[in-house]
Amino acid sequence: MKIRRIGGLTAAIAVSALALAACSSSPSATTTTTAASGPSTGIVTVNGSEPQNPLIPTNTNETGGGKLLTLLFAGLVYYDAKGAPHNEVADSITTSDATTYTIKLKSGWKFTNGEPVTSKSFVDAWNYGAKLSNKQLSSYFFEGIQGFSYDADSDLTGLKIVDDSTFTVTLKQPEADFPLRLGYSAFYPLPSVAFKDMTAYGQDPIGDGPYMFKDASAWEHNVKADVVPNPGYIGDRKPMNGGVSVKFYTSQDAAYQDLLANNLDVDDAIPDSAFGVYKTDLGDRAVNQPAAIFQSFTIPQNLAHFTGAEGNLRRQAISLSIDRKTITDKIFQGTRTPAKDFTSPVIAGYNPNLTGSDVLDFNPTKAKDLWAQANAIAPWSGKFTIGYNADGGHQAWVDAVANSIKNTLGIDAEGSPYPTFKDLRTDITKRTIKGAFRTGWQADYPSLYNFLGPIYGTGAGSNDGDYSNPQVDALLKQGLAAKSVDAANKYFDQVQEILFKDLPAIPLWYSNVTGGYATTVTNVQFGWDSVPLYYAIKKA
Amino acid sequence: MAWYIGRRLLQMIPVFLGATLLIYFMVFALAGDPIAALGGERGLNPAVAAQLREHYHLNQPFLVQYLLWLKGLLTFDFGTSFSGRPVRDVMAGAFPVTIQLAFVALFFEAVFGIAVGLVSGLRKGKLFDSTFLIVSLVVIAVPVFVIGFTMQFLVGVKLGWLPPTVGGNVNIRTLLMPGIVLGSVSFAYVLRLTRTSVAENMTADFVRTATAKGLTRRRVVTVHVLRNSLIPVVTFLGADLGGLMGGAIVTEGIFNIPGVGNTLYHAIQQSEAPTVVSMVTVLVMVYIFANLLVDLLYAALDPRIRYA
Amino acid sequence: MPETSRPTQMHFFADLDVEILEQVDTVDETAPPASLWHDAWQSLRVRPIFWVSAFLILLVVVVAAVPRLFTSTDPSYCDLMSSYNPPGPGHPFGFDRQGCDIYARTIYGARASVTVGILTTIVVVVLGAVVGALAGFYGKWFDSLLSRITDIFFAIPLVLAAIVVMQVFATHRNVFTVVVVLGVFGWPQIARITRGAVMSVKNADFITAATALGVSRSRNLIRHVMPNAAAPIIVTATVSLGIFIVAEATLSFLGIGLPTTIVSWGADIAKAQTALRSQPSVLFYPAGALALTVLSFIMMGDAVRDALDPKARKR
């Protein structure tokens, strides 16, 4: 697998004037696969799933709703196909100390009800999303902003409106990648009408994005949601089609059958069952490219036999005993890329050659040797299990990984299925899980830190294995406070080198986005976040 | 007659309460915390989770939750799903779809099952009979999802005769294939029931009398044999209607039908008690009413039965 | 059933001669069932379908009991390098996605499916027969109560209930949890059939006679009524056995049946559906074995029903 290097983000985040501003002047990175010019009029049908929550930006944390929000809203920045941020509503985002940011808005932006998009639209929306009693699922996105509290309702005192087109954000501590996050849906603005009745708003949201709901019945629950181009949209993501119809599927198989029968134009999730045939079925309309998704399994820090020096040897041995290449070939038919680090190849700063990454190679001899050394410290007993949720199509690879460990180390290893994701999460959250468990991470915003900080920082929100290493904590903090992304990534590389030694989680592979499109559409590109750039698709 | 119906309606109350309590208990006892899954892969902040739990009464004891739900029921308030939609709306969206699907399936199994069963029963032991007997056995023995996937790919994708999925286009064309798949097992039962029943009745005294009376074979078969043979078949079909609606989980999943089965399956996975219990309650009611209807139909089919 | 022949007359009879009555008693106890079963056997032994299904059932049961007789390959040894390899020497059915030997898995998978089928049927028959017999025999409010309970369980679709309950068992799923779940929600059908059969038998002359002889009600139920209601129960049970095996496969398809660590047809079919198009043979073997097993039980049920049904036997 060839590694794609990201160009857009290598530009340094300048101390006084953020490079982001510069990006907006250059044309967006749309590489056309077919050279048809001008917008088309056809309605593009794409796969999706019923949003699990009302369509409120700060309360949407899953792809079903996220997909629609990206169509309906424009935030301060948007990400292009490669994950590079470009200013959308923001005119500039500047800082001198990575702690206080001054955000200036472009003029002329309006919500589809005619209300102008102002500083207040952002500040009110963020305050709403952060307030504890509003119980918004994405509230943690605001936890770095001054005034945020998990203990009681409190305003984000770090947000100050200067005038209609300017506001400032003060963070609790320096975070250099804060501007990178602003394209995430939690940071979208809301019109004032939303706060009058948020429940009603969540059913028929009014946004400022390239598309809008035509009327209140555009969202047919469990069936589909239709969006039409927003004539008032003035950003770079200009719709090139007559609208998008997101059809909701409960199984990827059904969507794929529709794609084959030309009942669906774009499918961004080829099912497991078609991995063997989708390339034959679709020819050059098949898409298989790396995405910002990292898969691993976590071995809890306090798991018996996996603590101290013995545990360290065993972790190394387990990692060395997994034949990632064969598994990605045979089980995933090349739709996964064996992991070389703890992040993703589509993120700027990705480095597949970090010191210590050879622990991810398949090396049965060394694995057996290390396992024997561990046995010398304390003899192995019991069974190695990998917990997973049976409702997510994980069974095949978990079985394959368990077999690989079993066949290499000669120990009893098996998958431990939980019927649903909920059951797995419950056991993980309560720390009652008795064994390793699958963990995955899809980046919210294109940054190395997003793959590391929330997972391996002491006490971090998704540190499900309770990993704690003061060195890692210090380096993460230094990385955040760094003045440029490149400088920050040097610290993050060091973090990963420590992680290779400690192996709180065993990296497995990066998920590719595996999709395809019908003969009816052209100019289909898949973004860094696995979602196609719907606005650019053309259909006659 | 009125007294009979009245008594049957009264008997529904304990069945209704019992079934809802049972279902509510099962959903309540489900392992796992529904809120835990809402946070996705990264989990949810405990403070936010606590707020949500309180909002959905999840921190209340089981009986309190059940009674709260019952109380809402009196005002046709079935509660809200985690996505913030009233369960009433969720049901109003799902049931019409599944009812249509169930009727397509019921129509298929009744018409074809009875027709094939009748011919088989009349020609017991002949080639036609043996062929369809084997077909019916195979249909019962092969899991429905194998039949579903195969038909979807062959008929829907390869041949392109029918759309492979339903989605938002709920009509007779899209529902035809799922209906046949859903009704396939019951088709086999109806066929077998009709066949046995017809064969039995052909040797019954009243048929011999009718034939002796000089009635044409056609009249004997349609009026005397078929009418009497339909009694067990109708019982089965009545009981099956509820089963078809609730048992469409697999079929609705394969063909992406936004009906009861799909909705229920996801609600169960998310431990959305109000949605699960409300929908199952409706299914139970359908079942009870269908059975009442069947009993009343008996009287029409069999003059010997009279309800007092 | 003529309801007018009430025991008063018989009772008068009974006082007359104890010896004769004892004879009547013995005849009542053994004769009718013996002749019924004897007749049935006479009819069964000449039917080829009976012998074919009996042979298949026997074969499946032996395979389930001692799979080692049929293969020496370890069904749980899987080498990914042989993933989807075609059949070769010693591996007549080839390999599945994980590189496990399909033949060995098909052989070893019989145990789980057959155990689920047989145990569930036992649970269902015991529960259903007890409830149905009590309801049918004692009648009145007791019947109403039991019938309503039966309704509650009948009204909740089996697969639906199984999904909910299997979620409760979550991490502790094995053959027995599947049996319990299918059993608890599968008994109402047998209960109804038993109730109906018991109700039609309990007013028969020989029961009336037995009652007249002072046979206690419970003894009457067990010794006289039940054997005569057994035929429909047995027929339904054999067919149900097949249905339960399929139900287990369906649960596995939904990811809530037997865990994959237990070698079972259901789980293997569920896994193989991902290769339905590219590698259909992986699905074919476990599904074929399952279908054949189910088929043989249903055919056996058919044969037994025809044999027990005097009307069908006439021809």
Q: Which of A263, A303, A301, A259 is nearest to A282 (CA)?
A: A259
Phi, psi of B163 (to 5 degrees): -60, 140
What distances in angstroms separate CA C270 from CA B184, C67, C169, C283, C287, one per listed residue? 20, 22, 19, 8, 10
pLDDT on residue C208 = 79
Residues of chain A contacting residue C83, judged by C-beta atoms under 8 Å apart: 330-331
For residue range A167-217, what is the model confidence (pLDDT) as tens digits?
Answer: 999 999 888 889 989 999 999 999 999 999 998 899 999 999 999 998 888
Q: Do B167 and A221 touch (CB under 8 A)?
A: no
Taking alpha carbons only, the member of A493, A479, A498 closest to residue A353 is A493
In C, minimum Cα distance to B239 occurs at C155
With beta carbons less than 8 A apart as the criterion, state whether C276 and B153 touch: yes
Amino acid found at B143: P
User: Residue type for C154, please?
Assistant: F
Q: What is the mean pLDDT of residues C286-294?
A: 89
Which range has the worst mean pLDDT, A359-368, C49-58, C103-112, C151-160?
C151-160
Could you tell me if A317 and A372 are in contact, meaning their C-beta atoms sit under 8 angstroms apart?
no
- The model's confidence at residue C126, banded by pLDDT at 50, 70 and 90, is very high
Q: Which amino acid is located at A307 in the chain?
A: T
Query: Which of A361-370, B152-161, C21-30, C192-201 tops mean pLDDT?
Result: A361-370
Q: Distance between CA A263 and CA A45 in Å, rounded?
A: 8
- Positive or negative CA dihedral for A232, A237, A241, A246? negative
Mean pLDDT of A441-461: 89
Count CA within 13 A, CB hemisphere, residue A386: 28
Angstrom distance (rounded) from CA A233 to CA A236: 9
**Which is it for strands A286-298 and A336-338: parallel, antiparallel or unpaired?**
unpaired
Instruction: Please indicate whether, in this complex, the C-beta atoms of C277 and A400 are within 8 angstroms of each other.
Output: no
Annotate A300-339 with b (16+ C-beta within 10 A) or e (fewer).
bbebebbeeebbbbbbbbbbbbbbbebbbbbbbbebbbbb
- Minimal C-alpha gap between C214 and chain B (Å): 34
C-side interface with A, Cβ within 8 Å? 77-81, 83-84, 97-99, 166-167, 170-171, 255-256, 259-261, 271, 273-279
Per-residue pLDDT band at C216 (split at 50, 70, 90): confident
- Best mutation target among C174, C253, C278 (most A Cβ atoms within 10 Å) is C278
**Radius of gyration of chain B, Cα coordinates, nearest whole angstrom:** 23
Residue B41 forms contact with A (CB below 8 Å): yes
pTM score, whole prediction = 0.81
Average pLDDT over residues C119-130: 92
Rg (CA), chain C: 24
Question: Helix (H, G, I), strand (E, B), or coil: what is residue C301?
Answer: helix
* Higher-confidence position of C306 and C49: C49
Looking at the DSSP bridge assignments, the partners of residue A103 are: A93, A167
DSSP B60: S
CA distance A423 to chain C (A): 8
Closest by CA position to B182, among listed B113, B286, B101, B86: B101
Interchain pair A417, C80: CB under 8 A? no
Chain B contact present for C164, CB below 8 A: yes
DSSP-based three-state secondary structure for B130: helix
Cβ pair A261:B33 closer than 8 A: no
pLDDT of residue C9: 42
Q: Is A186 exposed, middle or buried (0-12, 13-18, 19+ CB in 10 A)?
A: buried
By CB atoms closer than 10 A (0-12, 13-18, 19+), residue B68 is middle
Q: List, for residues B46-71, the tens digit of each pLDDT value.
A: 777 777 777 777 777 778 888 888 88
CB-based contact, C247 to chain B, within 8 Å:
no
Contact B247 C144 (CB under 8 A): no
C97 CB neighbours in chain A (<8 A) are: 330-331, 396
- CB-based contacts of A365: which residues, under 8 Å, 6+ apart? none
pLDDT-derived band at B6, boundaries 50, 70, 90: confident
pLDDT digits (tens, 9 = 90+) for A479-534: 988 877 888 999 999 999 999 999 999 999 999 999 999 999 999 999 988 899 99
- Top pLDDT among A63 and A70 is at A70
Q: Classify residue A117 by its DSSP letter.
A: -
Closest CA to B33 of B23, B43, B21: B43
At residue B85, φ and ψ (nearest 5 deg) are -90, 140
pLDDT at position B40: 65
Instruction: Return the higher-pLDDT residue of C143 and B168.
Output: C143
Displacement of CA B272 from its chain's centroid (Å): 21
pLDDT confidence of residue B304: 64
Kindly report the CA angle at A45 between A42 and A46, in degrees rounded to 5?
140
Q: Give mean pLDDT, residues A344-365.
A: 93
Q: Stretch A440-457: mean pLDDT, rounded?
A: 90
- For residue A51, the chain B residues in CB contact (below 8 A) are 83
The DSSP element (H or E) to which A372 belongs, if any, is: helix A364-377
Neighbour count for residue B281 (Cβ, 10 Å): 20
Query: H/E element holding B208?
Result: helix B205-212
Closest CA to A484 of A11, A7, A5: A11
Tell me the range of A151-155, A286-290, A370-374 where mean pLDDT is highest: A370-374
| In chain B, residues 201-230 whose CB comes closer than 8 Å to chain A | none
Check whether C19 has a pLDDT greater than 70: no
Sign of CA dihedral A271, A277, A282, A285: positive
Interior CA angle at C30 toward C25 and C34, to 5°?
Answer: 155
Give the model's pLDDT for residue A7: 30
Please, which residues bridge with residue A414 across strands?
Answer: A385
Contact B137, B192 (CB under 8 A): no
Annotate B194-219 with b (16+ C-beta within 10 A) or e (fewer): bbbbbbbbbeeeebeebeeeeeeeee
Residue C12 has pLDDT above 50, yes or no: no
State how far residue C97 is from chain A, nearest Cα, in angstroms. 7
Residues of chain C numbered 249-308 and touching chain B (CB < 8 Å): 249-250, 253-254, 269, 273, 276-277, 283, 287, 290-292, 294-295, 298-299
Asked if B59 has any chain A CB less than 8 Å from its own CB, the reply is no
Subunits with 3+ C-beta pairs closer than 8 A to C: A, B
Q: What is the largest CA-CA distance in chain A?
A: 73
Q: Provide the token pair at A64.
A: 């079903």
**C209, containing H or E segment:** helix C205-212
pLDDT at B41: 60
Give residue B305's pLDDT. 60
Distance CA C80, CA A324 (A): 11
Q: What is the pLDDT of residues B188-233, one digit of tens each?
A: 889 988 888 888 788 878 888 888 888 888 888 887 888 888 878 8
Whole-number pLDDT of residue A363:
95
- Give me the pLDDT at residue C36, please: 66
pLDDT above 90 covers a percentage of chain B that reads: 12
CB of B228 closer than 8 Å to CB of B193 = no
Q: Does A263 touch chain B (CB under 8 A)?
A: yes
To test the contact with chain A by mutation, choose from B54, B169, B256 the residue with the greatest count of A C-beta atoms within 10 A, namely B256
Contact list, C255 vs chain A (CB under 8 Å): 390-391, 395, 417, 419
Q: In whole angstroms, give the CA distance from residue C220 to residue C222.
A: 6
List CB contacts of B138: < 8 A, sequence separation 6 or more.
C291, C295
pLDDT for B181:
93
Tell me if ipTM is over 0.90: no
Subunits adjacent to chain B (3 or more Cβ pairs under 8 Å): A, C
